[in-house]
Amino acid sequence: MRVILVLIFGFLSCNVIAQNSFVLSNIEIIGNKTTKERIILREVTFNLKDTIFFSDTAQHVFKTENNLLNTSLFNFIKVTFADTLGAWVARIKLQERWYLWPKFVIRFQDRNFSEWWKTRNFSRIDYGLIINKNNFLGLNQTLQGQFHYGFTKKIGFKYQIPYITKKQRGGFNLSANFGTQNEVFSGLNENKMLYIKNDSDIILNEFSAVFEYTLRTGFYNLQTFAIEFKSLSSAHVLKNNSESYLGNTNGYSKYISLMYWYKIDKRFSKNYPLTGYFFDFKFHQFGLGIVDKSDLFVTQITSNYRLYRNILKRHFIAGSAYINVSPKKDIPFRFQKGLGFHEYVRGYEPYVIFGQAAFLAKANYKLQLVSPKEFTLPIIRKWKKFSKVHFAMYWNIYSDFGYVYQKLSRHTLNNKLIWGVGTGIDWVSYYDMVIRTEVSINKEGKSGFYLNFVAPI
C-alpha cells in the first residue's frame, strides 16, 4: 500500500512540475555575424535541456541581457522564450557593435577638464591615436596599439585574451609601453600639483611590460594575478630630485611589481549602474627589495564597495566606500597615493591629497528625468551599428566625505575630515557614453562647475 501511495505522490508531483515548467529544446542566436556562439553562451544563465520554471523566465531574461550588455560587445540585446509546436526555444537577438575603432584621444594632465580650462595650456594635453580591434577573431579578444604625442610621448600595445581554457575561465593579458616626458608631476604644495619641466630635453623615460593571468568563476567573480617589469630613468632637474621622487640618488629605478586583484561585479550596466553592487580588493607590491635588487619595497592595499538601489519608480540611490592603505611611512613621491584623480571628494577637484591611509564615502540620489529611449538616426539609417541610439537623462544630488592620514604632514587638507555636496545632470547614451555636469561646494565654502565623463559612483 505504501509503495502505491509513493508512486501516486511521485506521479502527481511530476505532473505539477510539468505544468509549471518546460524543458528547453533549443537556443537560437540571431545577429552574431562576428561573435562566436560560445562567447555568447558563456553569459547565458540557462542551458539546453534545462528544466525552467515559468516563474523564473523573467530573471533569466534580465540576467542574461545584463551579462551580455556588460561584455561591451553589443548595443542591444533581446532574450525571449517561445513555445514552438510543443518545443520550447530561447531566442537571443543581438545587435553587434562596431569593433574596429581608430580612436583620437585628448587627455588633460591637470586634475580634470575643468582645471585645465582655467589655464587653457595646450602643452598640458596628451593627444594621440589608439587603435582598438575589439572582439578579435569573434572571441572577445582585444588588440590595441597606442600612439601619444604632447605632454607624454608614448607608444604601446596590448593583447587581451579572456579565455584560453575549454571551460572559458582562465585568460591572459600582455602589454608593453615606452614613454617620455619633459614635464613631470613631482610634488605638492598646499595639496596643489607641482611640476618639474625642461623645455629643451626629456627628463623622464619610462618602459613597462606586464603579464596578467585572469580567472573568472561564474558570471560575476574575477581574479587577476599580474607581474610587471618597469624601468624609470630621470635626467637633468628631475634627477636632482631623484631621492624624493624615486627614493634613491641614482636617477633611475628598475623594479618588479606583483599585483592581486579580486572583484565581484553584480551591477546592472557597468557603464552607468542603477542597481546591483560591486566589491573589490587589490594588493599591489612595488619592488621586491633585495630580491629584485631595486631597494624599493612599497605595499599598497585598496578596496571598494559600491551599492545601487531602485527605491521607487524613476528614483535611485547609490553609496560607496573606498579605502587605501600604504603601511610604509616614508614613500617616494612616485608611489604615493590617497585622494585625487580617480578617487576624490566632489568639490575638491583642484586638489590632490596623498597619505599613508585614505578613506572616501559617497552618497548619491538620482531622479530619472528621461527614461532610456531608443530611436533611429535617419541620416545614417543604413549604418545599423550606429543609427540605433539609446538616451537617458538623470538629475542627481550628492554628498561625499573623505579623510587622508599622513604623519607630520604640512598640507592643510591632510589629517582632517573634508566633505563636499552638490547637484548635477547626467546624460547617458550608447557606446558607453556618459557626460556629467555638476556644481559642487566644499567644506571651505569654495564652489565650482565641473564636467566629467564617467559615472559618479
| DSSP state string for 103-114 | EEEEEESSSSHH
In this predicted structure, what is the pLDDT of residue 440?
Answer: 96
Q: For residues 156 and 17, what is the distance between their CA atoms, to the nearest angstrom?
A: 57
Span of 1-10, 88-97, 216-225, 298-307 with lowest mean pLDDT = 1-10
- Best CA proximity match to 90, nearest among 46, 125, 127, 53: 46
Q: Which residue has the higher pLDDT, 184 or 306?
A: 306
The DSSP code sequence of 10-46 is: HHHHHHHHHHHEEEEEEEEEES-SSS-HHHHHTT-S-
Span of 5-9, 157-161, 254-258 with lowest mean pLDDT = 5-9
Q: For residues 457 and 362, what is the distance between their CA atoms, to the nearest angstrom?
A: 8
Which residue reads 605632454 in cell numbers? Answer: 151
In this predicted structure, what is the pLDDT of residue 237?
Answer: 82
- Best CA proximity match to 418, nearest among 339, 301, 329: 339
What is the C-alpha radius of gyration for the chain, rounded to an integer number of angstroms?
26
Average pLDDT along the chain: 89
| pLDDT above 90: residue 265 | yes
Cα–Cα distances in angstroms (integers) from residue 258 to residues 255, 323, 412, in the given order = 10, 20, 33
In this predicted structure, what is the pLDDT of residue 454?
Answer: 87
CB atoms within 10 A of CB 103: 11
Amino acid identity at 176:
A
Q: Does residue 115 contact residue 124 with C-beta atoms inside 8 Å?
A: no
CA 315 centroid distance within chain: 24
Bridge partners, 242 (sequence order):
none
Q: Which grid cell is 208?
A: 613597462
In this predicted structure, what is the pLDDT of residue 136?
Answer: 95
Q: Strand, coil or helix: what is 386? A: helix
| pLDDT above 70: residue 279 | yes
Q: Which grid cell is 346?
A: 566632489
| pLDDT above 80: residue 432 | no
Domains and CATH numbers, the chain: 2-96 (3.10.20.310), 100-359 (2.40.160.50)
Q: For residues 437 and 114, what is the distance between their CA atoms, to the nearest angstrom?
A: 10
By percentage, how much of the chain surpasses pLDDT 70?
89
Phi and psi of 7, rounded to 5°?
-65, -40
Q: For residues 451 and 457, what is the distance between their CA atoms, to the nearest angstrom?
A: 15
| pLDDT above 50: residue 13 | no
In this predicted structure, what is the pLDDT of residue 149?
Answer: 81
The pTM (predicted TM-score) of the whole model is 0.88
Those residues whose C-beta lies under 8 Å from the C-beta of residue 163, and which sit 6 or more positions away, are: 39, 42, 139, 140, 169, 170, 171
Residues in the chain: 457
Q: For residues 357 and 402, what is the distance between their CA atoms, to the nearest angstrom?
A: 11
- pLDDT tens-place string over residues 390-431: 789 999 999 999 999 998 888 889 999 999 999 999 999 866
DSSP 68: H
pLDDT confidence tier of residue 222, bands split at 50, 70 and 90:
very high
In this predicted structure, what is the pLDDT of residue 155?
Answer: 94
For 182-265, strand residue ranges (E) read 183-189, 192-197, 204-217, 221-234, 252-265
In this predicted structure, what is the pLDDT of residue 5?
Answer: 46
| pLDDT above 80: residue 444 | yes
Phi and psi of 421, rounded to 5°?
-130, 160
In this predicted structure, what is the pLDDT of residue 117?
Answer: 67
In the chain, the N- to C-terminal Cα span, in Å, equals 64
In this predicted structure, what is the pLDDT of residue 16?
Answer: 46
Average of per-residue pLDDT across 152-163: 93
pLDDT confidence tier of residue 108, bands split at 50, 70 and 90:
low
Q: For residues 218 and 409, what is the distance between their CA atoms, to the nearest angstrom?
A: 45
| pLDDT above 50: residue 14 | no
Average of per-residue pLDDT across 229-242: 88
Cα–Cα distances in angstroms (integers) from residue 58 to residues 61, 80, 219, in the given order = 5, 9, 18
- pLDDT tens-place string over residues 24-56: 999 999 999 999 999 999 999 999 999 999 999
Please state the three-class secondary structure of 162-187 as a single string. Answer: CCCCCCCCEEEEEEEEEEEECEEEEE
